[in-house]
Amino acid sequence: MQTQRVLDEFKNEPFTDFSKPENAEAMRAALEKVRGELGRDYPVVIDGAKITFDSKFKSFNPANKEEVVGVFSEVDDEVELVEKAISAASEAFKSWRNVSPAERAEYLFKAAEVMRKRKHELSAWMVFEVAKTWAEADGDTAEAIDFMEFYGRELLRWSQEQPVTKIAGEDNSLEYIPLGVGAIIPPWNFPLAIMSGMTMAAVVAGNTVVLKPSSDSPTIAAKFVEILEEIGLPKGVVNFVTGSAKTGEAMVTHPKTRFISFTGSKGVGLHINQVAARPQDGQIWIKRVVAEMGGKDAIVVADDADIDAAALGAVQAAFGFQGQKCSACSRLIVDEKVHDEVLSKVVELTGKLTVGDPTDGTTNVAAVINKRSFDTTLKYISKGVEEGGEIVAGGTGDESKGYFILPTVISNVLPGDTIEQEEIFAPVLAVIKARDYDHALEIANGTEFGLTGSVYSASEERLERAKREFHVGNLYLNRKCTGALVGVHPFGGFNMSGTDSKAGGREYLLQFMQGKSISRKI
C-alpha cells in the first residue's frame, strides 16, 4: 500500500540566476543537447498507443525559420482518430474517476520532480520552438512546476470534508466529483506552463482528456506527454493529438466532450463558446467552457508616480517575450504633466534592449512566433502611423533569418485608435496622453478586454480608486502588469478576456468538478 507523502506548504519554484557561471553553463549544455535532438518525428498518443501516419507538419524555430524543431502527424485528415481519442478517454474515465485524490495528486508531484530535474532541458526546447529568451523560458518551466505542485495540493484540499449546515435527523455532505472527458486546447506562448497546467488541473480533478497543443509549439507538449508516460500515468487519461483548428473543432463538437479548456485568441474563444452551447446528437449535458482569451492591457502613470519605476515596468511588460503575453502592456497611458519625461525614459530603455538569437544568454528580445504574426504586426505599425501615431523607437522588422521585429514604441496615439483597441500580440507599445488621472482611468477601461492592468502613483487615494474602478481581473499597483505567480496572483480576466477562470488560484479546480450533495436520514 502506497504511503501518502507529507507535503510542505506550497512555495513557488525559484527562478534560475543565470548570472552565476554554473547556471549559465548548465543552460548552454542543455541547449546543445536539445540542438542535437531537433527534427525528430513525434507520434500521436491514444490510449498509450503511439501512432504515426504519412500526412505530416513541421514545427519551426521562429528565430531560425529553416530549422525544424519537430515533425508531427497531421490528425486533420484522419478524423476517426479524434473519435478514437475521445473514446479512449471515455473508457479510461470509468476507472480514473475512482482513483483516490491522494493517488491522482501523486502523479502531479512526480511530474514536478521530473520537470525539476530537467528544468534547463525543457527550457531549451522552448528557446528553440517559440524563441523564448533564457529568462522567459526558465520562468515558463518554473510556472509549470508550480502548477503541478499547487493543483496537487488543491485537489487534496477540495477532497476533504466540505462545510455544510448541520440539522437534526440527517447526515449531510457535499463532495466534488469529476465531469468526464475534456478537450484541452492550449496556446503556444506559454507552451509548457499553460499547457501542462490546463491538462493536469483537469486530470487531477478526476477527468480524462484529449490534448491538442498549438501547431506552433507541439514539441514541448510531446516532451511533457513523455514525462507523463515515464511517471506511469494510466493509459487513456491523457491522449495526445496534433493538427490544426480542424482537429480542435472535432474535439469541441463531439457529443462525448463534457468540457473544453481553451487559452488563445478572442475570436477562437468566442467560436468555441458558441459551438459548445449547441447540443449535438447524443449529448446529455451542457458543455462547460473555460476560456482565457487575451487582453489590451494598460499601465497608467499618474503625475505623482515614480517615473523611473514606471518606465522600467512598462518596458519590461511590453517587450518581455516580444510582447507575446496576454498580460503584456500594449498601452501606456500617461498624465500629460509627466508624459514627455516618461516617454523619453521608455524610449531610452527600449533602445538598450538586445535583439537577437534566443540561444544567446544576453538576448532580451527574440523573434515573434511566425510569418503571419510578423506580417500582421508590421501592418498594425503602419496603421498606427496612418492614424497619426509617431514611431519613436523601432518600427521595422527583418525576416531574413527569423521573424524579428524591433521593440516598437508609438506615441501620439489617441483613445479609439486601432492600435489602442486591438490586440496585436507583438512588441508594440502605444503611448496615450491623458489629461489627468480621471481621464487615464477612463481610457484604461475603454476597451472590450479586461485582463491585466497597472497603476503607478504615490497617492493611496488614487490606488484605492484603481481598485474600485479599473475593471481588470489582475490589477497591479506600482509594479508591472506581467509576471503572475501561481498561488500568489490567481490569473484570469473580465469581459472579452475570458471566463475569469483564475488559473493558479484556489477555485480553479472547481472548473473541472461538480458538486454532489448527499443526504442520509438517521
Question: What SS3 class is residue 2?
Answer: coil
Contacts of residue 408, defined as CB under 8 A and 6 or more positions apart, other chains included, come to 381, 391, 393, 394, 395, 427, 428, 429
Q: What share of the chain is helix, strand, coil (3-state, %, to 5)?
A: 40, 25, 40
Pairing of strands 404-405, 397-398: antiparallel
Contacts of residue 101, defined as CB under 8 A and 6 or more positions apart, other chains included, come to 155, 156, 158, 159, 206
Amino acid identity of residue 456, one-letter, is Y
* Active-site residue flag, 326: yes
User: Locate cell 508594440: which residue?
Assistant: 428
Please give the Cα distance from 428 to 391 (Å, whole number). 10
Q: Within a 13 Å sphere around the CA of 399, how many CA atoms are in the beta-carbon half?
A: 13
CB 450 within 8 A of CB 493: yes
User: Locate cell 534592449: which residue?
Assistant: 353
**Phi-psi map region of 206: left, alpha, beta (phi>0 left; psi -120 to 50 alpha):** left
Which cell is 390 given?
Answer: 509617431
Q: Within a 13 Å sphere around the CA of 444, how many CA atoms are in the beta-carbon half?
A: 33
| Closest residue by Cα to residue 80 from 201, 209, 254 | 254
What value does the CA radius of gyration of the chain take, rounded to a whole number of Å? 23
CB 129 within 8 A of CB 70: yes
| Confidence (pLDDT) at 4 | 67
Question: What SS3 class is residue 337?
Answer: coil
Name the packing angle between helices 80-96 and 245-253 (round to 10°): 50
| Closest residue by Cα to residue 305 from 282, 337, 269, 353 | 337
CB 350 within 8 A of CB 409: yes
pLDDT along the chain (522 residues), means of 10: 75 98 98 98 98 94 98 86 97 98 98 98 98 98 98 97 96 97 98 98 98 98 98 98 94 98 97 97 97 97 98 98 98 98 98 98 98 98 98 98 98 98 98 98 98 98 98 98 98 96 96 98 96
Amino acid identity of residue 232, one-letter, is G
* Active-site residue flag, 292: yes
Please give the Cα distance from 498 to 266 (Å, whole number). 8
Which cell is 203 given?
Answer: 486530470
- Give the DSSP letter of residue 20: S
Choice among 136, 149, 326, 423 that is catalytic: 326
User: Locate cell 501615431: which residue?
Assistant: 389
User: Locate cell 457529443: which residue?
Assistant: 255
| Confidence (pLDDT) at 1 | 41
| Confidence (pLDDT) at 5 | 77
| Confidence (pLDDT) at 75 | 87
Contacts of residue 13, defined as CB under 8 A and 6 or more positions apart, other chains included, come to 116, 142, 143, 145, 146, 149
Choice among 292, 329, 423, 481 that is catalytic: 292
- The dihedral built from the CA positions of residue 302, 303, 309 and 313, taken in this order, carries a sign that is positive
DSSP 293-334: ----EEEEE-TTS-HHHHHHHHHHHHHGGGG-STT-EEEEEE
Report how far apart, in Å, the C-alpha atoms of 185 and of each of 84, 191, 272, 409 are.
17, 11, 10, 32
| Confidence (pLDDT) at 35 | 98
Which cell is 460 given?
Answer: 493611496
Please give the Cα distance from 374 to 399 (Å, whole number). 8
Which cell is 43 given?
Answer: 507520434
Prediction pTM value: 0.97
Q: 331-361 as b/e, with b when 16 or more CB fall inside 10 Å?
A: bbbbbeebbeebbebbbebbeebebbbbbeb
Please give the Cα distance from 496 to 500 (Å, whole number). 10
Name the packing angle between helices 460-469 and 437-444 (round to 10°): 30
| Confidence (pLDDT) at 78 | 79
Degrees to nearest 5, angle at CA 67 with 61 and 68: 85
Residue spans per domain, the chain: 39-293+501-519, 297-485
39-293+501-519 maps to CATH 3.40.50.10800: no
CATH classification code of 297-485? 3.40.309.10
3-class DSSP string for 219-258: HHHHHHHHHHHHCCCCCCCEEECCCCHHHHHHHHHCCCEE
Burial label, 94 (beta-carbon count in 10 A; 0-12, 13-18, 19+): exposed
